[in-house]
């Protein structure tokens, strides 16, 4: 975990907005001058700019080569736009795992929303998706991305089907009325046994949110709440979450979806 998370602004015109956000998230706010003179060893910054929020590793981590690029949520371009263009089909593994079919669009509760990529795909396929993210910093990133995409004509209809709740999914799930058809879990992957590092985006997020050590508890709550199924995304070769055998699994090249049908709960 980082020694600290701070909030920074990229220009003075955002001073008031940065202070307001820092107070809301209970983060220290630093200007560019303070950053230049402070000891930034292992500090992660939530940076506010004209283009929105991003996560920055201020010391420029050298592992894996070069400085880390800022991590931000963008549903109108980059990876999410590619996924929207290439994967808008009900035959993709994610769609099949959650139970999407011809004329069938289950309600989804994404219990580990993160940067919202999978939730965005599911909403693009016509599902109503409720997302939970307990890290206030990551939730702020996601909320910022949702707000920008809601103002974009091509993504606004998709964003309308997505709802973000900041908090612990274990508490939120039992209070949902009606309960979701499907609960989707994509907990932080275990540390890889091999020396190869995971992609930089995941490394910086792990520094912010830590490991999902309570994912077994979340699976228990999810299985008690979902009306139809629970889906858990796991790395290829990883053991079942909490040693609980799924009804079936859908394999992909580097990962798989473990599906727990209500019939087997």
Q: Do residues 190 and 238 make contact, with C-beta atoms less than 8 angstroms apart?
A: yes
pLDDT digits (tens, 9 = 90+) for 140-174: 999 999 999 999 998 999 999 999 999 999 999 99
Q: Which of 86, 82, 58, 62 is nearest to 71 (CA)?
A: 58
Q: Which of 262, 217, 212, 201 is nearest to 234 (CA)?
A: 212
Q: How confident is the model at residue 263 (pLDDT cuts 50, 70, 90)?
A: confident
Instruction: Give dist(CA 86, CA 92) in Å, integer.
Output: 10
Q: Do residues 238 and 188 make contact, with C-beta atoms less than 8 angstroms apart?
A: no
- Domain 78-264 sits in CATH at 3.40.50.150
Sequence spans of domains, the chain? 4-57, 78-264
pLDDT digits (tens, 9 = 90+) for 81-114: 656 656 678 999 999 999 999 999 999 999 999 9
pLDDT digits (tens, 9 = 90+) for 54-85: 998 765 543 444 556 788 999 998 777 656 65
């Amino acid at each position: 975990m980082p020694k600290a998370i701070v909030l920074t602004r990229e220009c003075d015109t955002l001073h008031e907005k940065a202070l307001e956000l820092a107070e809301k998230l209970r983060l220290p706010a630093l200007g560019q001058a303070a950053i230049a003179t402070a000891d930034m060893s292992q500090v992660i910054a939530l940076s506010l700019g004209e283009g929105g929020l991003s996560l920055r590793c201020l010391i420029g981590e050298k592992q894996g080569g070069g400085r880390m690029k800022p991590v931000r949520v963008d549903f109108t371009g980059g990876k999410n736009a590619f996924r929207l263009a290439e994967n808008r089909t009900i035959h993709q593994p994610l769609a099949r795992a959650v139970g999407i079919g011809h004329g069938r669009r289950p309600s989804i509760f994404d219990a580990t929303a993160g940067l919202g990529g999978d939730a965005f795909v599911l909403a693009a396929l016509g599902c109503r998706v409720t997302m939970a993210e307990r890290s206030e910093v990551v939730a702020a990133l996601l909320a910022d991305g949702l707000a920008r995409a809601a103002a974009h004509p091509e993504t606004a209809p998709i964003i309308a089907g997505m709802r973000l709740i900041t908090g612990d999914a274990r508490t939120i799930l039992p209070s949902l009325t009606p309960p979701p058809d499907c609960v989707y879990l994509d907990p932080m992957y275990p540390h890889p046994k091999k020396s190869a590092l995971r992609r930089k985006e995941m490394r910086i997020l792990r520094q912010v949110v830590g490991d999902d050590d309570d994912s077994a508890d979340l699976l228990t709550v999810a299985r008690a709440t979902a009306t139809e199924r629970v889906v858990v995304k796991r790395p290829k070769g990883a053991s079942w979450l909490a040693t609980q055998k799924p009804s079936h699994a859908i394999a992909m090249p580097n990962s798989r979806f473990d599906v727990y049908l209500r019939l087997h709960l």
